Amino acid sequence: GGGTSDKHIRIWNAQNGRQVASVDTKSQVCGLLWNETYGELISGHGYPKNQLTVWRYPQLEQVAELSGHTERILYMSASPDSSTVVSGSADETIRLWKCWEVDEAALKKKMASAQRVAGGTSKSKAKPSMQARGLR
């Protein structure tokens, strides 16, 4: 979905190609993020409101509208714990949005699983050097 004309979020069944849900956002759709913990989508928008909107899935029922940008949302990303979303806009601002509470149990389970996959149980909190992160 998207563009300045369509203004819809559409959910499709990838196996049979049928549309299973749709919502008219009344605003240009610029991006989507999925929150697996809460089963919700967050959409970034352009004209006319330049907002982020949280949607309950599968109903596509609006949960919240986050305003602050004055031009369209260009990108969004979620924090590692999925509680916070960062959005960048054509208005040359970056905003942090605390959208969800951290599910501590799910976070611990994810961390334990990642450690098993990595083959270690180290609890090292060493941070990469500035140079390793591409900063000088």
Cis peptide before 128 (omega within 30 of 0): no
Residue with tokens 């509470």: 101
Which helix (H) or strand (E) segment holds residue 102: the answer is: none
Instruction: Write the CA distances from 4 to 23, 59, 127, 128, integer angstroms.
Output: 15, 23, 42, 42
Provide mean pLDDT across the span 37-54. Answer: 95
Give the chain's radius of gyration (CA, Å): 18
Which tokens belong to 9? 């979020």
What number of other Cβ atoms are within 10 A of residue 46's Cβ?
A: 23
pTM of the entire predicted model = 0.74
Which tokens belong to 22? 């749709």
* Confidence bin at 120 (pLDDT 50/70/90): low
Q: Which residues of 50-60 are buried (b: 16+ CB within 10 A; e: fewer)?
A: bbbbbbeeeeb
List pLDDT tens digits, range 76-113: 999 988 899 999 999 999 999 999 988 778 777 777 88
